[in-house]
Amino acid sequence: MCQVSLGDDKWVCERARFEFEKPAILKTALGTVQDITEKKKIEDSLRESESLYKNLFNNSPFAIGILEKTSLQFLEVNKTATELYGYSREEFLKLTAYDIRETGDHSKLRNQLSDGNYINDKTIRTHKKKNGNILKVEPSITDITYRGKRAYLITITDVTDKLKIQEELNLAKEMKQKEIMEAQEKSRSDIGRELHDNINQLLAASTLYFNSLHITSDRDRLLKEKGINIIATANEEIRKLSASLVSPTLYNRSLKESIEYFSKSFELTNINLEIDINITEDTIPEGLKVNIYRIIQEQFNNIIKYAEATKVKIALIQSGNSLTLEISDNGKGFDLKEKSEGIGLTNIVYRTEAYNGNLNIETSAGNGCKLTIQFELPA
């Protein structure tokens, strides 16, 4: 059989059979010509497709590997994968997926294979390079058949730098929030001290002047007493306002003492208040203490203004490096979607994020509110 090209458009296959009477005398000849143009076009198309696939596979900007489905043995990898992980192609083909995963992930990987969930796991995971360096990668996994074998086609996106940049941005945002809050605290403390040290002194001086007056009538005596009482009331209100503005540490109180002192200002609200505090104060950063105090203030103001609650519980519990603040009430609750943009909740969210805390709010109309914040303390 042979293939003959007839110009640019036709390919044919020619066959011939010859019979001889004598070695040199041709008796009969039978020949056929078959048009194989379409077959040739299909073969050319397949070769072009294979070449295109190889180019796409090898030159992809993503690391690509093909794994045997049962053992997760590498059957093929592209150039990007060898450059990313540091193994040669030959070295890769001796490895399995277990070899580039951390040891702690092996049991999870086996369970996913057993449960049939391996292909559905698109979460960011940790891989190891040949030199031991760690990669953060995001996979995409597809079932394929490769050279007659059931296999997985895995495309890997290296997100190590992306996550690092995001972490740095989050840290910068957190530091900026802390700087803003520290500036706010300083401003509030300055105002609080000004009220306490100056305004209260002026009121005290006014009281002295009132007391130095010589009273000649009962009417004047009543006016004098009323004036002194008004000044005393103003003095007490300024003292309370000053205490709420000045950071707890500036009054030389512990966080627990500050919370208990703050709660006394609500004794006249007919709210049954329960306080449960179990913390080791010297393990909590001063900035976080002030932040927790402000969150409690903010939530109490929300409860007083809107909740119509009769019972409130504050729990501040430390367990190892975890610090949990819980404030719950039996008030009328609210629709979290409608109130999520309120200034009170926004301030609490802002203060929580500044110290990388996790905030959870459970509430609904008629069912009170439970606010839980968890902070991780420095080791």
Q: What is the pLDDT of residue 87?
A: 95
Each residue's pLDDT expressed in tens, for the chain with a length of 379 residues: 555 555 556 776 777 777 777 767 777 777 777 776 677 667 666 666 666 667 677 778 889 899 999 899 999 999 999 999 999 999 999 999 999 998 888 988 888 888 888 888 888 999 999 999 999 999 999 898 888 899 999 999 999 888 888 888 877 777 777 777 777 767 776 676 666 556 766 676 677 677 777 777 888 888 888 888 888 888 777 777 766 666 655 456 788 988 888 787 776 677 888 999 999 998 998 889 888 988 998 888 888 888 888 999 999 999 999 999 999 999 998 887 776 555 568 888 888 888 889 999 999 888 899 999 999 998 7
Are 220 and 303 found together in one domain? no
Task: Please check whether residue 193 lies inside any domain of the structure.
Answer: yes
Find, among 297, 291, 300, 370, the residue nearest to 330 by Cα: 370
Are 112 and 175 found together in one domain? no
Number of domains in the chain: 4
Domain that holds residue 78: 60-158
Confirm if 159 and 124 have CB atoms less than 8 A apart: yes
Q: What is the pLDDT of residue 214?
A: 78
Task: Please check whether residue 53 lies inside any domain of the structure.
Answer: no
Domain-terminating residue out of 99, 133, 158: 158
Are 169 and 136 found together in one domain? no
Are 232 and 293 found together in one domain? no
CB atoms within 10 A of CB 238: 16
Enter the pTM of the model. Answer: 0.48
Confirm if 57 and 89 have CB atoms less than 8 A apart: no
Residue 300: C-alpha distances to residues 193, 237, 256, 268, 293 (Å): 23, 18, 16, 14, 11
Task: Please check whether residue 52 lies inside any domain of the structure.
Answer: no
Find, among 292, 324, 316, 313, the residue nearest to 368 by Cα: 313
User: In CATH, what number is assigned to the domain containing residue 283?
Assistant: 3.30.565.10
Are 293 and 376 found together in one domain? yes
Are 276 and 374 found together in one domain? yes
Task: Give the C-alpha separation, 34 to 241, whole Å.
Answer: 103
Task: Please check whether residue 103 lies inside any domain of the structure.
Answer: yes
Find, among 364, 337, 359, the residue nearest to 347 by Cα: 359
Q: What is the pLDDT of residue 118?
A: 86
Task: Please check whether residue 194 lies inside any domain of the structure.
Answer: yes
Are 230 and 290 found together in one domain? no
Task: Please check whether residue 51 lies inside any domain of the structure.
Answer: no
Are 279 and 343 found together in one domain? yes
Q: What is the pLDDT of residue 250?
A: 47
- The token duo for 333 is 């609750």
